[in-house]
Amino acid sequence: MENAYKRKKQPEVIRRALLDQAARITLEQGLSKVTFQAVADAVGVTKGGVMHHFSTKNALVLEVFNDAMAKFEAEVNAAMSDDPVKYGSFTRAYIDATISLGEQGQEEYDNQATLYVLMLGDSELRELWAKWANEQLKKHAATDNTETLCMVRLVADGIWLSDFSGIDIADKQSLRDRLIKMTQRDFDTSSN
């Protein structure tokens, strides 16, 4: 007797759902709550189904981090390619990838939050973030290597951390606009 209904296997769809749910659990409950069982329950698969894709929790967490890094980098690169002014373009893209403005930025905010939460809780992930950031700073040294632009990126990180921590920020749009203005060569006195 043949099974009248047989579900088609979709390993990439399941893998994507596992990554998305592990990221959601990380943001909502913290890294310690990311377990194979919690992820399996969120996706509607068995614990063995999670283990089919990821041999250890560390492998799952690393893949969630790499996924979030790839999305963040793609967002930064897309913004840079749309920017007609090369000077400060990496810093402007970094600001917009880091500071969430309104509902349209919620997915990007969640992605950035996933990166920060994961790296704050894991020294190996911090090393991966530092490696990526240092590579970007070297890559964009000709356009984004001034004290002012460094301070602007650090302020963007601080705004993100305050926002993530629930600290009220009166006018994020105004702060973002001021930071963007600081990336202009005629404003940046440290570029001379």
Report pLDDT digits (tens) over 43-82. 999 999 999 999 999 999 999 999 999 999 999 999 999 9
Q: Considering Cα of 30, then 35, then 37, then 39, what sign does the dihedral take?
A: positive
Mean pLDDT of the chain: 89
Q: CA 148, CA 179: separation in Å to the nearest integer?
A: 10
pTM, two decimals, is 0.85
- For the chain, the distance separating the N- and C-terminal CA atoms, rounded to the nearest angstrom, is 80
